[in-house]
Structure 1
Amino acid sequence: MDTSLSQPKNLNLQLITYVCFTFVGYFIIGLSLSVLPIFINKSLGFSLLIAGMVISLQYISTFFLRAYSGKMIDGKGPKPAVLLSMIGFSFTGIFLILAYYFKFSPILSLTFLIITRLLTGCAEGLVGASPINWAIMALGEKHTAKIISYNGVACYGALAIGASLGIIIEQKFSLYGIGILSIILGIVGFLFAKTKENKTNISQKETQSFWKVLGKVAPFGVCLALGGIGFASISTFITLYYNHFHWNNGALCLSVFGGLFVAGRLVFSNVINNYGGIKVAIACLLVETIGLFIIAFATNAQMALIGAGVTGLGFSLIFPALGVMAIKSVSPSNQGSALAGYGLFIDISLGVAGPIIGSVADFFGMQFIFPFSAAMVFIGLGLAYFLKRKTNLNKIEE
């Protein structure tokens, strides 16, 4: 039944053929991530609050697509969700081109950007849990931690590479270049997904409603959401933060963040199995908090880069550490909904963080956004410690 386990030498290669869809999707997201806040603020003339709200629209639509995606995966398999996501990503490129073409009319351009962000969120919601579930169904549940880790490498590695490349493309080819590349990559991803065999759950017994599953994974998800605020502050506002202090190469922070994130996933890939998810989450949230404080008190661009790297290292294992526990809290027939529901919390985090951090910047000053983000992640650290104590008490009672 799980024939892939008899070919351990090919496991990593097989895994990559599934998580590559995550890479394509988040690479497209990353292409405009560093460009759009500046375009909205500097070219169209809207406030940082508006910029943050438009960027965060992506995560609102992602929120609503997660439930649909989870039920689709549990019922029809992950392939249909991946195919739809690739189509959605291609359409984001079309509306991004329209937004740039009509930049002489700020309101009209912003309208097209809103559509772009909503479509991006829909595509992200469909692809978010699909490659993970596809790989688990094809390669076996015993590889769940590794699959989630590799998927995260694909996700944040793609965001980091895409963000840096997006700056270069925008400088040479404007938003047209980013839009055209997004269309092409979405089509390529769609065609490759068409060649792969779909997988479905053999047993549909004990299938629960999405909202019941969501309740089971919520404690881990809330902790994840608080940890995600650090990533949100860097991904959405780091280029504006650098611009505020007249530093150069703000997008490099995203690359350093992504590089240390990937390194953390690869170097410490076994710590979750060795020490347990809660302990790993506590350690990671502590490191992430330290990294954000380094950025907050940075006096130059180089110090901020160090802080971004420490933050990326800290954030690297939070998702898989808590995600493995979330999956174990439900039956196999509900894993699609569990991962989709768990992923909702990072969407909530990124969706809420944009307007909130933008408001902090507008009303208190740009220099306060990273102390605020560090405080939020520190609260997540406290929650993780509470979950650890609760887990220990449950073990004693058993």
Structure 2
Amino acid sequence: MRAAYRRPMMNNASPSVSSPSSHESALRLLPLVAIVFSGFLAVGLPLPALPLYVNGVLDFSPLAVGWIIGLQPLTTILTRKFAGTYVDRHGPRQSVMMGLPMAAMAGLLYVASALIPHPPAALAVLVAGRVLMGPAESLFLTGTMTWGIGRVGPQRTGIVMSWQGIAMFAALGLGAPLGVWVMQNVNFLAVGLATVAFPLVGLAIASRVPPVPVAAGARKQVPFLRVIGMIWRQGGALSLASAPFAVLTAFVVLYFASRGWEGAGLALTGFAAGYILVRLFFGRLPDQLGGRKVAAVSLVIEALGQFLLWMAPGPGFALAGATLTGVGFSLVFPAMGVEAMRRVPPESRGVAVGGFLAFVDITSGVTGPLAGLLIGAYGYRAAFLAGLAACVLSFAVIVFGMGREPRRGA
């Protein structure tokens, strides 16, 4: 059954495009990148502020902080199927126009929480906001990615995912220090107001971008579980490759502190610089060379980065390892995205994007606790050894576990 779906994906461009040039593709993607950036500022800015608010202002325990932080990723995972189905049936633009106002509404609940003087009631309203932000993210992110593929054609899936990934990462990276500054210098009410404003900026941009037609046969789309069956190898490889990223962002600061090293912030900067620069200069490689080749080479680089972090005798080696981890991880997502999108019919592309993103969500949710258990038993270095093992497993899935690669242009 899988082979029957490959040819339409390789032959048919989106009905809204006719093989745009690289310059035309950039112009068509730019507003969607801006939408993702605006929407993800609403996700990233509150993250570092929430612990300060829940624990420092409302005076709840660290356990409550953990639940508040984890609620949004959980509801995001649970709504990926809904978002993908909605995109395929109603179009990606409609999904974005629905998701961004929901994100703004979640911000309004943050504002309401900050205005309530009774801590338990304030926490309950905050919980509602976190729950609402999950489906909001699912809708606008699945929508923008599918919208981008529709605007420039499935033959440019890799560049769509590369650019939108840059927007996500940049928004999260900028949002974190901005959220800390706003919380420390103003209050959580200001954090909530910013969370309202950023999605509305994205909504204003989205309202000016023309829609792409819903794919023919969208009402008879492939069932979600069958789509997952088509892309689970690509999603599994991505999930394994994402584990080092999750470990690095969660524990590299504590790793440096445990060794008495300075420069933990530079390690995160090195990772971010490697990640973004590779996507900027080499983001077209998955489309040009094929996803499997690019992902395999990327994983070798990522594994080398984890090896350096594991055996680092000093901070210089660890900084190099963090940077190489960013360089290697950068193109795995768009590379596996190219391979996944080749294996599904156009009318189920939204479901495929939603399912594909869910693999990253799951990794983000389980890696931290598992790595924490490993660190408790064997120390911080063990987490990076596990990251190296995850890269090796992902490489094995890509090289040996995906069968024959669909012929380009077949």
Choose which of 351, 371, 377 in structure 2 pairs with 1:357: 371
- Secondary structure of the equivalent of 1:201? coil
Amino acid at match of 1:214: I
C-alpha distance in structure 2 between counterparts of 1:229 and 1:109, whole Å: 34
C-alpha distance in structure 2 between counterparts of 1:248 and 1:177, whole Å: 33
Amino acid at match of 2:30: I
* 1:320 corresponds to 2:334: yes
Matched ranges for 1:144-155 at <5 A: 144-155=157-168
C-alpha distance in structure 2 between counterparts of 1:147 and 1:312, whole Å: 19
C-alpha distance in structure 1 between counterparts of 2:305 and 2:177, whole Å: 21
The aligned residue for residue 25 of structure 2 is 11
Q: Note the C-alpha offset of 1:351.
A: 1.8
Choose which of 77, 81, 88 in structure 1 pairs with 2:102: 88
Choose which of 194, 210, 221 in structure 2 pairs with 1:181: 194
The aligned residue for residue 193 of structure 1 is 206
Could you report, residue by residue, the CA deviation over 1:11-54 in whole angstroms, capped at 9, with x for unpaired residues? 3122111222221222222223445467667885745x775554
C-alpha distance in structure 1 between counterparts of 2:106 and 2:382, whole Å: 32
Q: Are the equivalent residues in 2 in contact too, given 1:77–1:198 (CA < 8 A)?
A: yes
Could you report, residue by residue, the CA deviation over 1:159-181 in whole angstroms, capped at 9, with x for unpaired residues? 22222333333332344433222
Describe the shift of the 1:101–1:377 C-alpha distance in structure 2 as closer, same or farther (beyond 3 A): farther
Count of residue pairs the alignment pairs up? 391
Q: Are the equivalent residues in 1 in contact too, given 2:87–2:95 (CA < 8 A)?
A: yes
- Secondary structure of the equivalent of 2:198? helix
The aligned residue for residue 89 of structure 2 is 75
* 1:387 corresponds to 2:401: yes
Amino acid at match of 2:393: I
Q: Note the C-alpha offset of 1:185.
A: 0.5
Q: Note the C-alpha offset of 1:234.
A: 3.2
Amino acid at match of 2:170: G
C-alpha distance in structure 2 between counterparts of 1:178 and 1:277, whole Å: 39
Amino acid at match of 1:319: F
- Secondary structure of the equivalent of 2:401? helix
> Which stretch shows the higher mean deviation, 71-80 or 185-194?
185-194
C-alpha distance in structure 2 between counterparts of 1:82 and 1:118, whole Å: 18
Matched ranges for 1:1-398 at <5 A: 2=16, 5=19, 9-36=23-50, 46-47=61-62, 54-97=68-111, 105=119, 114-204=127-217, 207-238=221-252, 253-298=267-312, 304-361=318-375, 368-387=382-401, 390-391=403-404
Q: TM-score, length-normalised on structure 2?
A: 0.81
Amino acid at match of 2:369: P
Where in structure 2 are there 5+ consecutive unaligned residues? 1-14
Describe the shift of the 1:57–1:363 C-alpha distance in structure 2 as closer, same or farther (beyond 3 A): farther
- Secondary structure of the equivalent of 1:216? helix
> % of aligned pairs identical?
29
Amino acid at match of 1:199: V
- Secondary structure of the equivalent of 1:196? coil
Q: Are the equivalent residues in 2 in contact too, given 1:161–1:255 (CA < 8 A)?
A: no
Q: State the superposition RMSD in angstroms.
A: 3.4
Q: Are the equivalent residues in 1 in contact too, given 2:31–2:205 (CA < 8 A)?
A: no
Q: Note the C-alpha offset of 1:214.
A: 1.4
Could you report, residue by residue, the CA deviation over 1:201-250 in whole angstroms, capped at 9, with x for unpaired residues? 24116621122111111111011111112222234445555666677775
Q: Are the equivalent residues in 2 in contact too, given 1:63–1:347 (CA < 8 A)?
A: yes
Amino acid at match of 2:72: Q
- Secondary structure of the equivalent of 1:128? helix
Amino acid at match of 2:286: I
- Secondary structure of the equivalent of 1:197? coil
Q: Note the C-alpha offset of 1:346.
A: 0.8
C-alpha distance in structure 2 between counterparts of 1:37 and 1:51, whole Å: 6
Describe the shift of the 1:172–1:42 C-alpha distance in structure 2 as closer, same or farther (beyond 3 A): closer
Where in structure 1 are there 5+ consecutive unaligned residues? none
Q: Are the equivalent residues in 1 in contact too, given 2:83–2:138 (CA < 8 A)?
A: yes
Q: Are the equivalent residues in 2 in contact too, given 1:54–1:117 (CA < 8 A)?
A: yes
Could you report, residue by residue, the CA deviation over 1:146-199 in whole angstroms, capped at 9, with x for unpaired residues? 212211121222222222333333332344433222111012212222233222
Q: Are the equivalent residues in 2 in contact too, given 1:30–1:163 (CA < 8 A)?
A: yes
> Which stretch shows the higher mean deviation, 79-88 or 36-45?
36-45
Q: Note the C-alpha offset of 1:200.
A: 2.7
Q: Are the equivalent residues in 2 in contact too, given 1:79–1:199 (CA < 8 A)?
A: yes
Describe the shift of the 1:251–1:186 C-alpha distance in structure 2 as closer, same or farther (beyond 3 A): farther
Q: Note the C-alpha offset of 1:255.
A: 4.1
